[in-house]
Each structure stands twice: as C-alpha cells, then as structure tokens.
Amino acid sequence: MANASAAPAAPFWTEESLGEVVSARAKILGPGVWAAAQPDPRPVISFAGGLPDVPSLPDAELLRATRAVLERERREALQYGGVFGPAPLRAAIAERSSRIEGLPLGEERVIITSGAAHGIGVACEALLDPGDVALVESPTFPGSLRTIRSFGADIEAVPMDEDGLRVDLLEAALRRLADEGRRAKLLYCIPTHQNPTGVTLPLARRERLLELARDHRLPLMEDDAYGEIWFGKPPPPSLFALSGGELAIKVATFSKVIATGLRLGWNLAPPALVNRMAAVRYDMGSSPYLGRTVAEVIRDGGLDRHVEGLRAVYARKLDRLCDALDRHCGEYASYRRPEGGFFVWLGLRPGLSALKAQRAANEKAVIVGAGPHFFAGGEATQHLRLAFSYTPVEEIEEGVHRLGEALAEVAARSANGQPA
Ligand SMILES: Cc1ncc(COP(=O)(O)O)c(C=O)c1O
C-alpha cells in the first residue's frame, strides 16, 4: 500500500501563494514584522530605544496593587471587561486627566487601549480610508507612519524646525489640498517632547495650529507618549486641552510612565468618537486585570509620585548625556537640549553622514538611531537620535566617548575622500 505521507508535500503557504490571498492591508505592510530590534549578543551601550529606566520600574507598587485587586474585585478583574475598558481605570484616568488638562472630563471621553500604538491604530481605523490624505510632522515616530500607511492613506509630510511643526507650511499644504478639491482626514503629531527630535511645540504655534484645524475641519491626532516626562517647567497645555477636548484625539500610554510590558494606554476624545473607536475593535477590550491594577496605582497617588521620581531620574541622565556630548562630540555635532521626554536629536556637522556615523558607532558597540529612519521618505538627514532614558547612568559617559571617537573616524575618512 502506498504510504501517503512518504513524499513530502509541497508547502501550501509560500510567500507566493500568500501573495494571492492576503488582504490589501497585509500587502501594503509586507511580510516584515515591525518589532523591537533583536538584542545585540555583544555587551553594548545602547542609546537606541525609547524605553524606561529599568531600576525605576515600579514592581513593588504593581505587586501591591495586583494583590489588592485580586482580593477585592477578583471576578471583575478576571473576566471580559468590554471594549471601552474597565470602568475603574476609565474613571481614574478621567479624574487624573481633568486635573492635568484643566477640563472637566468624564469617563465617556476615555477609551482604554493596549498601548499608544494600538490607540493610534483604532483612531486610524475609525477615521481613514484608502486614498485619504493623512498629514504627519516630519520627522516622526516610524511605528505610526507604518500604521497610517497600512490603511492605504496618502501620507503628506509637513516639515519641522527647531520649534516643531512648521504651521505656516501646514497652512500651505491645507490650502493646496483645498484647491485640489481634497481634504486631509487627520494630522498626526507629537507636540510635546517629540520623538525623535525632542522638540516641544510652543503655545503660539499650538494656537495657530488649532485655528487652522478649525478652519479646515482637520481632526488632530496628538500623540502624548512623553508629555508627562518634563524637566524644570511643565509643557504648554495639550492640543486636546486648548481645543476644549473637541478637535484633538489625545493618544496616551502607561508605557513610558509605568512599563512598556503592561501594553496599556488610553485615548481621550469626544464621546461620539470614543464610541466609534470602541465599535471598530475586534479584540474584546484590553486587559481588565491589568487595567484594574493600574487604576489602583493611580487612585492611591502612586502614579503621581512615581512620575515625579522619574522626572528626576531622566533629568539626571540628560545632564550626564549633555555634559558628555559637549566634551566628546562638540566638534562634530550640535543639539538643542530637550525640555522633557527621552531623546536628544544630534545634528552632525556638514559632510558627516548619519548612516556612516551609526555604523562606526556600532563597530564600537554603541547603538544609536539614524535620522533617515524617522522620515516618511527616508530622506538623507544628518541626525542621530540618542535615547537617554534606558542607558544606565554610569554608562552614558563611556558610550558618548566612543560615539565621539566614531564621529572623528567618519570625519577623517570623509576628509580623505575615502568611502566610509
Ligand atoms: C511617539 C510614540 N508613540 C507611540 C509609541 C508606542 O507606545 P506604546 O508602548 O504605548 O504602544 C511610542 C513608543 O516608542 C512612541 O515613541
């Protein structure tokens, strides 16, 4: 009798056969999985990722809150919680956001998400169709570019300068679109402690941006992942607050102020839009268990205390980084000290390529982000992004020292006309 299993069957799911069946969205995204970089097997000094300081992760606080939740509300924590998110967390966020935004906000304005990346996803899903125009500041967070692009939207990049989004160029883009009979469906921006530039949009530009948004009926998607991490003085009010909670969806997250591993965030928006974002979800809601645990941390003041402590931790790391940059990289690069967030955007002097500098630093086991990665069109740019949040404070000096040596090598090679 023939053995049916003897001949190995040709694989059914090949890239080619998948190409015939995957959705238009999956085709736009392609097979590449967008994820955190693989850990480097070498002992590296990393300025690569926007990750929180490891020793500051609040495990004891989370453990206490978890225990309290399981003892008190075990059933609700361990069952489905619905697509708006667990009621205690929505209420705790509404109360805390009312204080931060200076607006009375009820929980009907809050939807709990599985992090800001998901929050951006549900907002895009509720708003974007293929062929719609989505405006983005440039440079920006590449994860969001990927999400927006996946909905088939045409991305139009609006340049930034050292004060953030060029609202004059935004106005020109909105006028041109109107002349062409098109309307932008949204503007995605990170006005506070921006990723990657670290810039905070000043109040006057925020107000002008809101005037333009009103005139052109342009919904704003304000990504506030780093808004609470400020040093010295607090940033200007959010676009959400300045618009009375009407024109902007504020995307927020516990990733940077508690832990990225929670996968928990929230969007603030007008109730009708919150409803639409809840309606497009397929995931049965974000974790009620973790949501209730975080609500417990917020309610007892633990989150406010923790954020206060983080500001001091990151301010110290930024001091250390700036001091080291001035000593080791001043000849090759300049930067503007950010008022908050996790990033320094280092402008290399003319003639130095960011990609070559990144490679040279990598050879010295120092990992940095290269500017072109953050532009919709991958433009040539002479910037490096240094995330100072995750690097152990005692490694910052050595990392920047090696970066300075790498920049010196690239500069010497370019001066000799050699390929780097
Ligand atoms: C600007 C910005 N938005 C969103 C995210 C995603 O954050 P989350 O972990 O909340 O999904 C990041 C993460 O680095 C970010 O930098």
Q: How far is the CA of 251 from the centre of ligand 1 (A)?
A: 9
Residue 373 is classified by DSSP as G
176 & 281 share domain = yes
Tens digits of residue pLDDT in 190-230: 999 999 999 999 999 999 999 999 999 999 999 999 999 99
> Whose C-alpha lies nearest to ligand 1, atom 2?
225
Segment among 30-39, 243-252, 350-359 with least mean pLDDT: 30-39
Asked if the structure places residue 280 within a domain, the reply is: yes
pLDDT at res. 12: 82
CA distance 209 to 214: 9
pLDDT at res. 410: 96
What is the pLDDT confidence band of residue 6, given thresholds at 50, 70 and 90? low
Asked if the structure places residue 178 within a domain, the reply is: yes
Tens digits of residue pLDDT in 96-125: 999 999 999 999 999 999 999 999 999 999
Q: Which atom of ligand 1 is nearest to the CA of 264?
A: 10
251 & 330 share domain = no
CA distance 92 to 107: 8
273 & 337 share domain = no
Nearest to 121 by CA among 155, 144, 91: 144
pLDDT at res. 4: 56
Instruction: Give residues (CB < 6 A) around ligand 1.
Output: 50, 115-117, 141, 143, 190, 195, 223, 225, 253, 255, 260, 265
Asked if the structure places residue 260 within a domain, the reply is: yes
**Which of 248, 273, 300 finishes a domain?**
300
Contact 268, 249 (CB under 8 A): yes
255 by DSSP, 3-state: which?
coil
Asked if the structure places residue 29 within a domain, the reply is: no
Query: Averaged over 75-98, what is the pLDDT?
Result: 98
Q: Residue 159 belongs to a domain with what CATH number?
A: 3.40.640.10
Say yes or no to pLDDT of 420 above 60: no
Q: How far is the CA of 412 from the centre of ligand 1 (A)?
A: 37
What is the pLDDT confidence band of residue 419, given thresholds at 50, 70 and 90? low
Contact 87, 114 (CB under 8 A): no
> Whose C-alpha lies nearest to ligand 1, atom 14?
50
Q: How far is the CA of 93 from the centre of ligand 1 (A)?
A: 18
Contact 224, 250 (CB under 8 A): yes
> Whose C-alpha lies nearest to ligand 1, atom 3?
225
pLDDT at res. 416: 77
CA distance 165 to 138: 8
pLDDT at res. 36: 62
pLDDT at res. 38: 73
Average pLDDT, rounded, for the chain = 94
pLDDT at res. 8: 73
Q: How far is the CA of 405 from the centre of ligand 1 (A)?
A: 31
**Which residues, 6+ apart, have CB-to-CB distance to 90 below 8 Å?**
84, 107, 110, 111, 112, 266
Sequential DSSP letters for 136-195:
EEES--HHHHHHHHHTTPEEEEEEEETTEE-HHHHHHHHHHHHHTT--EEEEEE--SS-T
Q: Which atom of ligand 1 is nearest to the CA of 263?
A: 9
Instruction: Tell me the β-bridge partners of 154.
Output: 133
**Which residues, 6+ apart, have CB-to-CB distance to 362 below 8 Å?**
none
pLDDT at res. 58: 97
Q: Which atom of ligand 1 is nearest to the CA of 194?
A: 1
Tens digits of residue pLDDT in 120-135: 999 999 999 999 999 9
Nearest to 288 by CA among 30, 55, 73, 22: 73
331 & 347 share domain = yes
CA distance 155 to 20: 26
Q: How far is the CA of 119 from the centre of ligand 1 (A)?
A: 10
pLDDT at res. 414: 83
Ligand 1 mutation pick, 193, 255, 263, 342, max ligand atoms within 8 A of CB: 255
Asked if the structure places residue 7 within a domain, the reply is: no
Centroid of chain to Cα 20? 33
Q: Which atom of ligand 1 is nearest to the CA of 116?
A: 10
293 & 309 share domain = no
pLDDT at res. 33: 85
Query: Averaged over 362-370, what is the pLDDT?
Result: 97
Q: How far is the CA of 395 from the centre of ligand 1 (A)?
A: 24
Q: Which atom of ligand 1 is nearest to the CA of 342?
A: 16
Nearest to 166 by CA among 133, 186, 146, 189: 189
Q: How far is the CA of 52 from the centre of ligand 1 (A)?
A: 12
Tens digits of residue pLDDT in 306-335: 999 999 999 999 999 999 999 999 999 999
What is the pLDDT confidence band of residue 418, given thresholds at 50, 70 and 90? low
The phi, psi pair for 79, rounded to 5°, reads -120, 170
**Which of 274, 300, 326 finishes a domain?**
300
Instruction: Tell me the β-bridge partners of 384.
Output: 346, 370
Contact 243, 208 (CB under 8 A): no
Nearest to 311 by CA among 52, 49, 106, 42: 52
92 by DSSP, 3-state: which?
helix
Ligand 1 mutation pick, 148, 200, 221, 223, max ligand atoms within 8 A of CB: 223
209 & 121 share domain = yes
Tens digits of residue pLDDT in 241-276: 999 999 889 999 999 999 999 999 999 999 999 999
**Which of 255, 284, 300 finishes a domain?**
300
Domain that holds residue 89: 59-300
Q: How many CB atoms lie within 10 A of CB 221?
A: 27
